[in-house]
Amino acid sequence: MANIKSAKKRAKTNEKRRLRNRARKNVIKSNIKKFYKAVEDGNKDEAKEAYNVAAKKLDQAASKNVIHKNKAARKKSQLARALNEM
């Protein structure tokens, strides 16, 4: 454990950020799973809705540096391709 006051504070803020980032990543994964479930069921309207939500969450995570912007773009591209192939 850190002895210096600023190092203790950094450790605390790092832990808070880690938990916040983890929660955001879990939301993204859930939205992507929901999208693929809709695609698998063949429900185009539901898939389109799920795609919009997932793309928005990916963009938000990329803007907050939770995930890299290229990863967000790659994921959105994969989702769009799956939607178009329906």
CB–CB of 62/72 below 8 Å?
yes
- pLDDT score recorded for residue 55: 97
What is the Cα Rg of the chain in Å?
Answer: 17
- The answer for residues whose C-beta is within 8 angstroms of residue 21's C-beta and 6 or more apart is 66
**Digit-coded pLDDT (tens) for 27-81:** 999 999 999 999 999 999 999 999 999 999 999 999 999 999 999 999 999 999 9
For residue 2, pLDDT over 90 is answered with no
Domain boundaries, the chain: 44-86
